[in-house]
Amino acid sequence: MRAYSTAHLPLDLPPGHPFPLYKYRGVAEALRGLLPILPAPEVPREALYLAHQGAYLERLFTQGLTREESLRLGLPVHPALLRRALHAAGGTLAAAEDALDTGLGLNLSGGTHHAFPDRAEGYSLFNDVAVALAWLRAKRGFGGRALVLDLDAHQGNGTAVFFGEDPTVFTLSLHGERNYPLKKERSDLDVGLPDGTEDGAYLRALEEALEVAQAFRPELVFYNAGVDVLRGDRFGRLALSPEGVRARDLRVYRFVKALGVPLVVVMGGGYNRDPALTVAAHAETYRLAVSSLA
């Protein structure tokens, strides 16, 4: 059992930038002693080309992004950012291979679900889950049904587009209806929640969504475990308590255990006004995965 982290990779951001760089190191430190934390490997370029459009990748690697594209991404594109994105995607790919081998894979990064096949958006250069699944299919011979269970507070719009025509992948997004992205794409199951949704209503909606997903009979699950659902998140607009997030995670792990299938956990979003709360909630997600499924 091991986890992958991008905490070793530096990134200079403009003063006051809201990207929560602190949480990657904080979560890795919080989990030391529970399991080995390995530096996330760089994703093979071949894996990126299995998922993303070649023209987008070639332009990104040779020219970078235009100012307009950088604004859509929300981050200034420079070599350090590109390196972090390559390693974040590599961490999810490595975790996916661990999941096939041992039943559980953990990436303390990733969940960049706003990246489309041909463009970057919303802090997401590469769609790490799409890249990892393409690699498993091409290189590991995985031909089964996959569920992408996205419980980040924002709809996984890029993921929905990646798998929109793929009957072997079921995309489920439980998110804030009025939250970013304003233009939603069509997942296999979208559950839009009103602003301020609290624990009870959220967990009821999750229960109903998981019943639908169970009928798909997935053979592999990717879990985007964003904690931007917490009350006080700068961008989440929902209002779960830490206990509610813990109950969410435990319900997901019971669901996966009942299915008896491998699970890959990726970090997703978390931008709480209290940084310690973001770190604690993310770390608890991984602790519960280990105690529930390892």
Q: Write out pLDDT tens, residues 69-128.
A: 999 999 988 899 999 999 999 999 999 999 999 999 999 999 999 999 999 999 999 999
For the record, the structure tokens of 146 come out as: 């996959």
Matching residue, tokens 């990657």: 24
> CATH number of the domain at 3-7+19-293, please?
3.40.800.20
Predicted pLDDT of residue 110: 98
Q: What is the pLDDT of residue 151?
A: 98
Counting as low any pLDDT under 50, the low residues of the chain are: none
pTM of the predicted structure, to 2 decimals: 0.98
What is the predicted pLDDT for the residue at 294? 83
SS (H, E, C) the chain: CCEEECCCCCCCCCCCCCCCCHHHHHHHHHHCCCCCEEECCCCCHHHHHHHCCHHHHHHHHHCCCCHHHHHHHCCCCCHHHHHHHHHHHHHHHHHHHHHHHHCEEEECCCCCCCCECCECECCECCCHHHHHHHHHHHHCCCCCCEEEEECCCCCCHHHHHHCCCCCCEEEEEEEECCCCCCCCCCCCEEEEECCCCCHHHHHHHHHHHHHHHHHCCCCEEEEECCCCCECCECCCCCCECHHHHHHHHHHHHHHHHHHCCCEEEECCCCCECCHHHHHHHHHHHHHHHHHHHC
pLDDT value at residue 62: 95
Sorted by sequence, the CB contacts under 8 Å of residue 20 that are 6+ apart come out as 270, 271, 275, 278
Q: Where are the domains of the chain?
A: 3-7+19-293
